[in-house]
Structure 1
């Protein structure tokens, strides 16, 4: 059967106008078979090798052969700075010809890129190929030389330029953009040392970080390149190295990727034994100009977890729903003992000036240097927010306004969840090259007296305590906080937080352990390249929060959202010790975590229905006594949580991971009731996940 094909136009965006016009310093892309030819013959050899590959690999679609089609096909393609071929545009009579053209060009081997003045660059060409395809000499044309193009070629190039606005080779502008770096503790641990070196004027308290801020201290591009696999095929590059769809043009770029979280596990405690998670989704992000970025992701999920986790999810369920998956959202019942929980997150990020970034979206925030945060954590489900980041001199100032909700049946209004609002300020100051100090304040209010979103709290530099006194204590719940971090050296730092909900100096000095002393604190230590082992990070952290912290006598003004705490996921009335180790080598990684804690829960047995200060959603006026209040009071509960995880990073561009882990949890309340049960769990789990957020199973 006589081979036939179509006309292939190869398009490559010029490196610079000088590179396009100065022919004496240019060298075209070089195939291995062309390494021995003279410089003057390199372009002719390149043309010959391109056509030879097309002639030997192109398979004419049946529909084209059956119709005895004769003509040309126009294709634009590029050879980029890495020497890889990429089709940009194809114009053909049949869609089958277009598809076959893309397939053939995806199979081109990686070659030496074109050079200009000794530096790698990319080139653009045009190659008209007649159909039927015959073994003949076909010459490519440099698309920068418009006067040499045929009318058909020029028409295709003009149409492409108009539609695609001068597409460029993808340059990973994400790594210097205004986009947030997806916040996972394991990923942040990989570059935190670079950001925390002694003398760096960085601010690590407000998370998630923005790429352009961290890019001053950490080269994301270089780190990703170091992990690249030598893959030339389209499927190989997309699986191991690249985002699925990546487009860059003049003044814009965007990427599109699938999201996966497929897990299978076994819980030794549960009657049904098997656990699973099945998440499919899509992630879209990009930028317009140099100062505007956007991000959106949607997750459609069904899952069933370890029994203790399912019981907790059902205990905090919304009105008329099956459960709330902690950190994710409201869930409906799915098949046998499963949950269906869709989640959507998105935001717009705009930097009108070098010192100011504005974000508006639906997601989560975190303030602190620890594994936990006593200010704002990412333990609750996503919420709408508006955030301002101001960065100048040695100061970073973050103001955030969020729209929260109370989903309990007893506070529903006309069948709708009760809205409430929160405003926060966080001032981070690098006092010296080693010491950072942060000041935090937050206030929560609701729609009392139909005031809606109170404009008093819109001022980004006002003190919330003063407004609370002015509008009445029942109008809002204000908290104050202090944080600090000290860099012992490039590899070690200590950090801490102090949160104050209410504090009575006279009661503290009286030594009676008054309930009014509602505060908590955190102390932590991080050790990078621990014991001179590169990429090993060790972390030790202690958290302690007194009873009734974060709660309020107007129960909708508690420091919570969707039946979850906006700070530590244990609420209050607890102490815990956290030990974490993280290690990565090339694409391999391992994490270990141990948490030992003591909590004071409520009895709720029909006889003793007092609030002992652990449940922030209860009215603190339901307390059993005013003095003698201690951490762990009430239904004293001890817990131990241990997790070991190991895995392999499949794709560093999307953070797609293959992993396996085992969790051990021992939970021992003094008294069991319907909401608090003893538990001894071993949970085995394997999966493949696009790792974009933190899961907290250490309840």
Structure 2
């Protein structure tokens, strides 16, 4: 403590002495000032340094071309040996900074300044105007650098201008998100706007692995032009923020960020329910931005309370996790009880997106991914809750290669240890190859594993180029669950695309050749077609899709190795043992939009009775060894159930930048099992709702 006090005492003594003994200070002597009296050395130095900058500074071409007018702030030093050193430069253009350093680097050594006869350093701050102004045309005082000698207080005063310079760097927001590495929020409705452009004959685009980043789609679709076309052009601040802009948008040197509120406020009526109304009340915030040209970030937080149609609530409660909370809201997360039959379900999603090179993108975050060109995916869908992931996208030649590693949860009571959910891991590889200007082929493989024998996240599965099936055998029986698949897309012309997927969970050549419909034939397939600008109507998309998955696909005899997360399927939301026909129409005109969807399905459910407790293959969380028979296995076995879902949504986009929508939604659901049970009953639901929503992810109501 004594030493500290002594140091402070000496500092203030020296500082005070320096402030009151100006006659003992001598400024650096610039060439040509040697004959000047001591009192004039400072003025001479000012004149010489400013004239030198004016004579030697070359304004870069880009600055001249853009007719830039402004100031360059420079903090520099003449050290105790008389050498010039640039300490800080504040300029709008990097080329201006480089030119300042070049000019000062060519300055000769001069006679250093002195203090009490001893050489010392002097620091100066100076402002250089662009376009350049001859210092002979203005007064010395107006152009004189501010001098700092020995003074810590004065130096801090000079450096504090750096804070002010940040505000000076702020420029009007240039919509940098639309060329960034940010994900385009995956909404089937919004992706339909540019799906046709990405599938034009001859493009080298890859459309299966979603969500896309803006930089990936920008060559095919002009997001800025879209927003400008839809803009209302309001002059007032409130009008701009409501109709055309982010709530907060800031752009400076090498950074930008935007902030928007999130809303999903809706009210509706379910004719089947015994409660008065359905509702959802979501409030949140999303922050997105970029640092430099290669790093982007996004984070969103949702606080929600909701009560949905009765069938949806029943399904949410059938997904219940271990613990006191009554439900898992499909696609969102665990829901706590809220008032009369409602759920409180907070959700947080975030990710970092980094592109160290043009051909690669790396992401780490908490959210969802999707693989496929259809409404459904048999590889990886987005109907389950958000989860932690690490994703690597590599694009070169005619290939895009997507690697995704995921941390998933099994939340069932029988799996719980020490009141903690079980963590399991999934790794996916998906290779997309544009064979020709019309044909695309995709190859998929996935493996799930758990912390058996304390291996945790098995480093073997970090290899981005490997066949998981072979590695699964090496790790031991029951070490993992490997699934393989293939996809194809054919561009018939610029308006019609055909697409397909095939998933294989287990292959037995003998069972296939036997032709007796063995349970081992665990596979599924998808066939679909898209018709862009259908019947010569701009922005009208028609889509037809058929999905069929055999019983026991995605399940395993080690029940934690099923293809699921949070009691939901990671592929098709119906699990397995179903066939489905999907018919979709989407249309948009400026800010108006309309979607129509019809789904006809055949499903098979378990009886879940004392007399019949077998697994018939729909529930991927059940052990497939609990099957009632080995052969004669057919889609729809068990309690055969026919279902029909019809949904019509129409609305108006309030703000196309934040995707805030005013909408109304009408749906009808008929669920018709051949045999009623405690879990299954014939139900007809008519659900009407309207509201305002920031549309950032897919809601699925067709369970």
TM-score if structure 2 supplies the norm length? 0.78
* Residue of structure 1 in register with 2:100 after alignment: none
Change (3 A) 1:646 1:415: same
Q: Whose Rg is larger?
A: 2
Question: Which residue of 295, 298, 302 corresponds with 1:295?
Answer: 298
Structure 1 match to 2:273:
270
Q: Secondary structure at the match of 1:647?
A: strand
- For residues 415-439 of structure 1, the C-alpha deviation after alignment (integer angstroms, 9 at most, x for no partner) is 0001100001000000000000000
Provide the secondary structure at the position in 2 that maps to 1:345: strand
Match of 2:421 among 417, 435, 456: 417
* Aligned equivalent of 1:18: 64
1:668 partnered with 2:672 = yes
Aligned-partner Cα distance in 1 for 2:65–2:302: 45
Identify if the C-alpha distance between structure 1 residues 20 and 592 changes in structure 2 by more than 3 Å, giving closer, same or farther: closer
The 3-state SS of whatever aligns with 1:474 is coil
Q: Does residue 1:545 correspond to 2:591, yes or no?
A: no
1:239 equivalenced with 2:242 (yes/no):
yes
- Tell me which residue corresponds to 1:216: 219
Asked if 1:186 is matched to 2:189, the reply is: yes
Shift of 1:168: 1.6
Alignment of 1:347-496 (within 5 A): 347-496=351-500
Distance (Å, rounded) in 1 between the aligned partners of 2:526 and 2:197: 24
The answer to whether residue 315 in structure 2 is matched with residue 312 in structure 1 is yes
Taking the TM superposition and a 5 Å limit, the aligned residue runs for 1:501-512 are: 501-512=505-516
Give the root-mean-square deviation of aligned CA atoms. Answer: 2.1
> Residue 478 of structure 2 aligns to a residue in which SS?
helix
- Aligned-pair CA distance for 1:508: 1.4
Report the alpha carbon displacement of residue 235 of structure 1 after superposing the two structures with TM.
0.3
Q: Displacement, 1:634?
A: 0.3
Counting only pairs closer than 5 Å after superposition, residues 26-105 of structure 1 correspond to structure 2 as none
- Structure 1 stretches (4+) deviating beyond 6 angstroms? 145-151, 154-157
- 2:681 aligns to what? 677
Contact 1:578/1:596 (8 A) holds in 2: yes
SS in 2 for 1:470: helix
Identify the match of residue 173 of structure 1 among 176, 201, 217.
Answer: 176
CA gap of 1:21–1:335, structure 2 versus 1, over 3 A, is closer
Q: Distance in 2 between matches of 1:358 and 1:269?
A: 47
- Choose 221-230 or 517-526, whichever is displaced more: 221-230
Q: Which residue of 1 aligns with 2:26?
A: none
- 5+ unaligned residues in a row in structure 1: which ranges? 1-13, 27-141
Q: Quick one: distance in 2 between partners of 1:268 and 1:617?
A: 32
Quote the residue 2:566 is aligned against. 562
Question: Aligned to 1:473, what secondary structure does the other structure show?
Answer: coil
In structure 1, the residue matched to 2:529 is 525
* 1:535 is the counterpart of 2:539: yes
| Partner-residue secondary structure (3-state), 1:531 | helix
| Distance of aligned partners of 1:465 and 1:21 in 2 relative to their CA distance in 1, 3 Å threshold | closer
Structure 1 residue 604 and structure 2 residue 608: aligned?
Answer: yes
Could you tell me whether the CA contact under 8 Å between 1:261 and 1:279 is conserved in 2? yes
| Displacement after TM superposition at 1:376 (Å) | 0.2
Secondary structure, counterpart of 1:225 in structure 2: helix
Aligned counterpart in structure 2 of residue 655 of structure 1, from 649, 655, 659: 659
Instruction: State whether residues 396 and 428 of structure 1, in contact with CA within 8 Å, keep that contact through their aligned partners in structure 2.
Output: yes
Contact 1:165 1:250 in 2 (8 A): no
Given that 1:315 and 1:675 are in contact with CA atoms closer than 8 Å, whether structure 2 keeps it comes out as: no
Counterpart CA distance in 2 for 1:654 and 1:338 is 28
Within 5 Å, give how 1:327-342 maps onto structure 2: 327-342=331-346
- 1:21: how far off? 5.5
162-171 or 299-308, larger mean C-alpha shift: 162-171
Q: Given that residues 167 and 247 in structure 1 are in contact (C-alpha distance below 8 angstroms), is that contact kept between their aligned partners in structure 2?
A: yes
Structure 1 residue 15 displacement after superposition = 12
1:198 to 201, 211, 230: 201
**Following the alignment from structure 1 to structure 2, what is the Cα–Cα distance between the partners of residues 426 and 361?**
19
> Structure 1: how far apart are the matches of 2:382 and 2:166?
41
| Cα pair 1:261 1:688 within 8 Å, conserved | yes
Residues 495-547 of structure 1 deviation map (CA, whole Å, 9 limit, x = unaligned): 00000000212111111000000000000000000000000000000000000
Partner of 2:599: 595
TM-score scaled by length of structure 1? 0.79
Aligned residues: 567
Whole-angstrom CA distance in 1 between matches of 2:536 and 2:430: 35
Q: 1:511 to 1:299 in 2, by over 3 A?
A: same
Which among 687, 690, 696 is matched to residue 692 of structure 1?
696
SS class of match (2:169): coil
SS of residue paired to 2:474: helix
Partners in 2 of 1:662 and 1:440 — Cα distance?
A: 36
Distance 2:495 2:482 in 1: 36
Unaligned 5+ segments in structure 2 are 1-59, 71-127, 147-156
8 Å contact 1:666–1:681 — kept in the other structure?
yes
Note the C-alpha offset of 1:450.
1.2
1:657–1:15: structure 2 CA closer, same or farther, 3 Å change rule?
farther
Q: Deviations over 1:82-104 (max 9, x none)?
A: xxxxxxxxxxxxxxxxxxxxxxx
What's the secondary structure of 2:644's corresponding residue? Answer: strand
Q: Deviations over 1:324-347 (max 9, x none)?
A: 000000110000000000000000
Contact 2:166/2:252 (<8 A) preserved: no
227 and 502 in structure 1: CA distance in 2 versus 1, 3 angstrom threshold: same
Query: Residues 127-142 of structure 1 correspond to what in structure 2 (within 5 A)?
Result: none
1:227–1:587 contact (8 Å) kept in structure 2: yes
